[in-house]
Structure 1
Amino acid sequence: MAASRAVRTFFEVDPPPGHTPEDVYPILLPPMCLNRYYVAEGVRIYSQDTWCRVTKGEGKRLIGTYLSPALDYYIQQTDADNHAVREAACASIAEAASKIDAGLLQPHVTRLLDTLVVCFGDQSWPVRDAACSALGTLLSTFPTEAKAAGHHDLLAEHFLRNLSDSIPSVRDVAAYSIARFYYNHIRDQLAKLKDQPAESHGVESQRVRGKGPGVSHVVVRSGEAAHDARHTDQTMYSCGSLAPKLRKGFRLHLDPVLPFMLGCKGGGCHDGLNQRAGEPWERADGAVRLIGQLAECTPQLFTDQMVEQLLSAAALTHYTHYPYFLETACHVVSQLATVLDKPRFKRHVDNLLVVLATAMESDLPLAVVAAEETLNVFVNRLGPNVLRGRVENHMDSRVVRNLLQHLPPATQHA
C-alpha cells in the first residue's frame, strides 16, 4: 500500500526538467496494472483509482505501447513467493490476452504459454483459476501457435484436471475455457458419481452466490453430526499474507524430470501435499458445468444423452454433498433453458423438472433457491399456463409435490 501511495504521488508532481512521465512508464505502469488485481481490497481499489488518474482512459493503449516490459514483469511476478501476487500476475496476463491486439501479442505467445502452464501446477487454487482463464483465452486466440509450441495436448490435460478440482470456481472457469474447443468425459464422470463414498468432502464456503444476507450455505445437521470435530476450531487466514506458504509450480521446460522425481504429476506438485484430489462428486460437478458451457458456446457438441446423464446423476443422493451437486445442476438447467432453441428445450422439460424437484427436497437452502430461480426461467420461456400444465400432468409425483406450490397463478384468457 505504501508503494501504491508513493506511485500516485510521483505522478501528481511535475517531473524534473528534461524528463516526462513517459520516461518511467515501462517501469511503473506494469506494477500499477498488476496491483488492480491484488487480493487485498484496499490495495486493489486504490490501485484501480490510481490507474484511472494516471492513464486517463488510455490504459489499453499504454499497455500495448509498453507491452514487452509489462509482460516481462507479469511473468516475473508469477514466480513470486506470495501466492496472492502470483494470482494477480496471472489475472494481468489474462487481461492482456483478452484486450490487447493479437498482432502485438503473437511474438510473446510461447513464453506466456510456458509461464501459465507452470501456474497450472500452483498449490494455490486462485492461481490455478487465473491461469486457466488466461490459457483459455490464449488457446482460443492462438490455437496454431499453441500447438506449434507443443502445448496442445498438455493444455487439454490441464483443463480437464481443473475440471475435477476440489474448488468450485476453478471447475467453473475450466468448464468455460474448455467449452470453446468432450462428450466422453461428461459421460464417464457422471457415471462414476455412483462410486462416490457416502462421506464426501467439499469447499462449501466457496458456494455462496450472493443470495443476500442470512442465507445458509451448509448442509444442516443435527445431533453428533452438528458437532463434528473436523469442522470445529480450525485455523482461518486473511488475504494470504499470514497463510501457509503455498508452493509454486515447476517449470517443466527447465527441468521436466524434477516433478516426477518428487512424485508429482502433470505441471506441478499440487496433486499431493496441501491440495487433495477432487472426489467423484466434484468431478461430476465439473462435468455438469461443462454440459452448460457446451450448450451455450458450442451447441453442435451438446447431445440429448447429456440431459439423460444429468438426470441419472442428480438422482444419486447417497453422499453428504449431494445438495451442492444439485445446486450446480439447477444452475446448468437454467442455462439450458436459456440457450437451447425452444423446440429442443421443450423436448427435455419433463426430465429437467425432475432435477428441480430433487433439489427442492434437499437440505441445502442454496439448492432450493437455485431450483426456484430456475423455475422462474422456465415460466418466462414457456409461459405460466404451459408450465403449470407440464407440472400438473407430470408422471413423477415428486414434481407435482415439490414444484406446483412455487408456480405463479394460471392466467385467464379473455
Structure 2
Amino acid sequence: MVMVEMEEVLVKLTDRMQIKRDHGVSLLQSLLDNAGNVQRQEVWSVGVEHVKKLISSEEWESRHGGFCAAKVLVLWDEEATFANELVPEALLHLQDPEPGVRLAVGECLYALGKKQDSALYLQCIKDCVLQCIEDGFDGERGMGDETGQNGEKSFQDKLDHVQHNSNHASTGGGLSDIHQRAKAGRYLETSVKALQRLLDGCGDSFSVHVTPQLWQLLLKALQHQNRFVRETGFLCISSLCQVSPLEVLKESGELISNGLTLGLSDNWSQVRFAASISTRTFMQRTQQFNPIFYPIILPAMCLNRYYGAEGLRLYSQDSWQMLMGSTGRDEVAKSVNNFLDYYVAHASAENRLVREAACHCIAELLVKIDPERINPLISQVLAALMGCFKDSSWAVRDAACSALGKAITGFAQEVRCFLPALFDLLFAHLADNVGSVRENSAFTLGSAMRSYQEEAIDKVILALEQLLPMAKHQVDKPCCCDGAKHRSPCSSTIHTKWHDPLSKLDSDFRTTSAIALVVASKGNGDDDQGFAREIEPWESSDGGIYLLRELSAVAPSKATKFLPVLVELAQSSGYVKYHNLMETLFRLLPSIAQNLGKRNFKPYLELFIDPLFQALTCGQRLSESASSYCISKLCTFIGPNIFKARLNSSQLAIMESSSFVVATISAPGTGTEMKESQSGEDAGM
C-alpha cells in the first residue's frame, strides 16, 4: 500500500500544475512520518533514486518537483549521504533559468543547513551563494574568467571545489551556458532568498561566518532599483540579525540603522513591511546598546504607525509598543528635532500615503511634546502643513487640516503671522469636493475662533454671509435621473459650471472668500487647492453649515441671524445634490439649536418641519436617517408636547408610525469633535 502511494507521489512531482506538485511533496512527507522504520527506509531510497533523475531533467516542472522533494528527503537522511550528493546539484541550479526552481533550491539549502555539520561544506555553500549575489550586482563579472576582481575565485572554481570534496561528478554540464544567460540582477532576488533560507537553516552555527563584509554586501541589495530585490534583501537582513554576534551588530550598527531607515522610508509598502520586520529583529537583538541608534531609526518607525497600509500600520504599532514600552514619548522628546525634520521632509514625499502619515505624525508631536522644544521649528512645520493642505489627495488635505487645528490650539501666538494665508486656505476648503475636508476645515476655523476671538469671528461671519446661501445658485445641467432616484454618479454634474456670484460680492471679501480663491486659482494656475473638479455651489453651503455649527458654539448670539438662511436652504430643492445638503443640515441642526438655546431657535422650528418630514419619506436612506435623528433630537430638546403641537395630522401619523423616530436616538460623530484616522494613544506613543 505504501509503495502504491509512493508511485502516486512520483507522478505528482512531475505534474505541470504546481498545486499537484505541492500535494505530492505533502504526501511524501506524510509517508515518511507515518511509515515504520523498514518501510520508511524503502520509501526514502526510492524517493532519492527518482529525485536524482528529476533534478537533472530538461523539464523545469520536474526539476522544481525534484528539489521540493529533496528538501523532505534531506531532513530524513541520517547518514548525510544524499545531502553530500545534493550540495553541488543545488549550487548548480542556483542560477536555473526558471525562478520557481531557484526558490526550491533555496528551500534545499535550508534543509542542508539543518543537516550539514561540516564547516568546510558550509563555507563552500556560503561562498557560492555570495558569489551568485555578487554576480547579480556586477553583471558579467567573473563569467568566463578563472578569477574575479581582487583575485577572488570565480563561481565555477568554488563549485568545482565543492564537487571535488563531495566526490560527486556533476552531470549538469551547462553551467557556462547559465552564466551567459545571467545578466545583471536576473538572479539576484532568488540568490538573496537562498542566502536567507541558508541562514534560517544553519541558525546560530552560521555566526562564525558573519563578517562586516557580508553585511556590506547585503546592504547593497537594500538600495537596488528592483523593489523585489529590496524586499528580499530586508527579509534576509532579518535572518542575518538573528545569527550575527552582538559585536558585529554593534560594529556595523550605524550602517545597518541607515539601511533599515532607507527601507522604512521606501516608496513601496511591501518593502516598508520587510524593513519593519528587519528593524524589529535588529532592535530586539541590540537592546543593550540600541539607544545610540534611536535618532536614526525611530523617526521612520514612528511615521509608519500612521501609514495607510493596514498591515504595516498595525505591525509598526506593535513594534513600537514592544520595543519602546512606556518610554516612547521621552525618547521622541530627546530627539524631537530629528523627528520634525524627518516628518517635514516626508510631507512632500512622492507617495500620498507617506504625506498623509507625516501630517498625522506632526499633529501628534504638536499635542504630545513640550511646546518649547517645537517652537524653534514651528514656521517650518506650518509651511509643510499648508503645502499639504493644497495636496491633490483629499486624505492628505484632511490630515493636514487636522494638524493645523492642533497647531492653532497649541501655538496660537506663533501661528498668528500665518493667519492671512491660513484663513484663505481654510475658507477655500469649506467648498472642497470632499465632505470630510469641509467638516475638518470648519472645525479648524472653530479652533481659530476660540484662540483669536473677535479677530477670527468677524472673518467667519463675513465668510458665512457669502458661503451659506450659495446653494440657491445651484443650476444643474439636464440630468438623466431624478435626484431622489439617483443611484450612481451622474456625468452631467462632474464639470458643472455656474454663474459666477463674485460680481455681487463686496471687493473686500474677495481675498478671503472661498469662491474668490478657488476661481482665482482656476484662472491663473496659482494657489491650486487640489480640487479634483470645479466646485459646486451646494458644496459651499455644505461647508457653511459646518462652519455655522462652530460659530454657534463660540458666539451663539452672532449665529442666530443665519437661521433664516438655513430655512431657505431647506426649502430650496430642485437640484440633484439637494438631499446630500439636507443630510448635513439635519445632522447638525440639533447641535446648532442646542448651542443657540430654545428662546432663539423656537421661532424657526415650524419652518423646518415640512422639509424634515419630506426628507423622512424621500426614499434616500442617508437623508431619511439624518431627518429621523433630527426630529428625535428636536423633539427632546423642545419638548415632545410642544413639538407635536406644531405637526399636522399626516406628519403626526408619520412620526408615530416611524420606527426610526425615537426620542432617545443618538448618532455617533455628530458633535463638534474632529474625527481622526488614528489617535496617538492608539498608535502607541
1:367 is aligned to 2:627: no
**Aligned with residue 221 of structure 1, among 477, 485, 490:** 485
1:264 is aligned to 2:525: yes
Matches within 5 A, 1:71-220: 71-148=340-417, 151-180=418-447, 181=449, 182-199=460-477
Matches within 5 A, 1:6-405: 6-15=278-287, 20-148=289-417, 151-180=418-447, 181=449, 182-199=460-477, 221=485, 263-266=524-527, 268=528, 270=530, 275-296=532-553, 298-300=554-556, 302-392=558-648, 400=652, 403=655, 405=657
Answer whether contact 1:90 1:127 (CA < 8 A) is retained.
yes
- Matches of 2:490 and 2:324, distance apart in 1: 53
- Matches of 1:310 and 1:200, distance apart in 2: 26
- Matches of 2:566 and 2:523, distance apart in 1: 38
Deviation of 1:107 after TM superposition, in Å, equals 1.3
Answer whether contact 2:559 2:596 (CA < 8 A) is retained.
no
- Matches of 1:227 and 1:95, distance apart in 2: 36
Deviation of 1:300 after TM superposition, in Å, equals 4.0
Q: Measured at CA, do residues 91 and 408 of structure 1 come closer, stay the same or move farther in structure 2, by a change above 3 Å?
A: closer
Q: Which has the higher contact order (CA 8 A, sep 6+)?
A: 1
Q: Measured at CA, do residues 111 and 408 of structure 1 come closer, stay the same or move farther in structure 2, by a change above 3 Å?
A: closer
Answer whether contact 2:467 2:541 (CA < 8 A) is retained.
yes
Q: Measured at CA, do residues 116 and 398 of structure 1 come closer, stay the same or move farther in structure 2, by a change above 3 Å?
A: farther
Q: Measured at CA, do residues 78 and 278 of structure 1 come closer, stay the same or move farther in structure 2, by a change above 3 Å?
A: same
Answer whether contact 2:280 2:319 (CA < 8 A) is retained.
yes
Q: Measured at CA, do residues 263 and 6 of structure 1 come closer, stay the same or move farther in structure 2, by a change above 3 Å?
A: farther
Q: Measured at CA, do residues 50 and 172 of structure 1 come closer, stay the same or move farther in structure 2, by a change above 3 Å?
A: same
2:277 aligns with: 5
Deviation of 1:37 after TM superposition, in Å, equals 1.4
- Matches of 1:302 and 1:365, distance apart in 2: 34
Answer whether contact 2:548 2:559 (CA < 8 A) is retained.
no
Answer whether contact 1:311 1:352 (CA < 8 A) is retained.
yes
- Matches of 2:650 and 2:274, distance apart in 1: 59
Deviation of 1:147 after TM superposition, in Å, equals 2.9
Answer whether contact 1:37 1:88 (CA < 8 A) is retained.
yes
Deviations 1:97-152 (A, max 9, x none): 2222222221111111111121122111111111111112212332322233xx21
Aligned to 1:303, what secondary structure does the other structure show?
A: helix
Answer whether contact 2:308 2:357 (CA < 8 A) is retained.
yes
Deviation of 1:28 after TM superposition, in Å, equals 2.0
Deviation of 1:345 after TM superposition, in Å, equals 4.2
Answer whether contact 2:426 2:441 (CA < 8 A) is retained.
yes
Q: Measured at CA, do residues 347 and 60 of structure 1 come closer, stay the same or move farther in structure 2, by a change above 3 Å?
A: farther
Report sequence identity in percent. 30
Residue 171 of structure 1 aligns with an amino acid whose one-letter code is R
Residue 373 of structure 1 aligns with an amino acid whose one-letter code is Y
Residue 168 of structure 1 aligns with an amino acid whose one-letter code is G
Q: Measured at CA, do residues 74 and 228 of structure 1 come closer, stay the same or move farther in structure 2, by a change above 3 Å?
A: closer
- Matches of 1:142 and 1:80, distance apart in 2: 25
Q: Measured at CA, do residues 352 and 184 of structure 1 come closer, stay the same or move farther in structure 2, by a change above 3 Å?
A: farther
Q: TM-score, normalised by structure 1?
A: 0.76
**5+ residue gaps in structure 2?**
1-272, 450-459, 494-519, 664-685
- Matches of 2:440 and 2:529, distance apart in 1: 21
- Matches of 1:173 and 1:69, distance apart in 2: 28
Deviations 1:276-302 (A, max 9, x none): 132101111000111112223x13464
- Matches of 2:282 and 2:385, distance apart in 1: 32
- Matches of 2:484 and 2:282, distance apart in 1: 54
Q: Measured at CA, do residues 261 and 328 of structure 1 come closer, stay the same or move farther in structure 2, by a change above 3 Å?
A: closer
Residue 530 of structure 2 aligns with an amino acid whose one-letter code is H
- Matches of 1:158 and 1:374, distance apart in 2: 31
- Matches of 1:82 and 1:93, distance apart in 2: 17
Aligned to 1:122, what secondary structure does the other structure show?
A: coil
1:245 aligns with: none
Q: Which moved more, 1:25-34 or 1:72-81?
A: 25-34
Q: Measured at CA, do residues 321 and 133 of structure 1 come closer, stay the same or move farther in structure 2, by a change above 3 Å?
A: same
Deviations 1:168-205 (A, max 9, x none): 1000100100123212322222322121122499xxxx
Aligned to 2:391, what secondary structure does the other structure show?
A: coil
- Matches of 2:584 and 2:521, distance apart in 1: 35
Greater fraction of residues in helix: 2
**If you compute each CA radius of gyration, which structure gives the higher value, 1 or 2?**
2
Q: TM-score, normalised by structure 2?
A: 0.47
2:263 aligns with: none
Q: Which moved more, 1:320-329 or 1:188-197?
A: 188-197
Deviations 1:231-258 (A, max 9, x none): 9xxxxxxxxxxxxxxxxxxxxxxxxxxx
Instruction: Supply the RMSD in Å over aligned alpha carbons.
Output: 3.1
Q: Measured at CA, do residues 227 and 7 of structure 1 come closer, stay the same or move farther in structure 2, by a change above 3 Å?
A: closer
Residue 286 of structure 2 aligns with an amino acid whose one-letter code is D
Q: Measured at CA, do residues 27 and 405 of structure 1 come closer, stay the same or move farther in structure 2, by a change above 3 Å?
A: same
Deviation of 1:383 after TM superposition, in Å, equals 4.0
Aligned length: 350
Answer whether contact 1:199 1:319 (CA < 8 A) is retained.
no
Residue 185 of structure 1 aligns with an amino acid whose one-letter code is A
Answer whether contact 2:355 2:396 (CA < 8 A) is retained.
yes
Deviation of 1:52 after TM superposition, in Å, equals 1.7
Answer whether contact 1:285 1:328 (CA < 8 A) is retained.
yes
Q: Measured at CA, do residues 356 and 54 of structure 1 come closer, stay the same or move farther in structure 2, by a change above 3 Å?
A: farther
- Matches of 2:557 and 2:381, distance apart in 1: 29
- Matches of 1:326 and 1:316, distance apart in 2: 10
Q: Measured at CA, do residues 317 and 22 of structure 1 come closer, stay the same or move farther in structure 2, by a change above 3 Å?
A: same
- Matches of 2:427 and 2:280, distance apart in 1: 42
Answer whether contact 2:570 2:608 (CA < 8 A) is retained.
no
Answer whether contact 2:484 2:618 (CA < 8 A) is retained.
no
Aligned to 1:284, what secondary structure does the other structure show?
A: helix
Answer whether contact 2:644 2:652 (CA < 8 A) is retained.
no
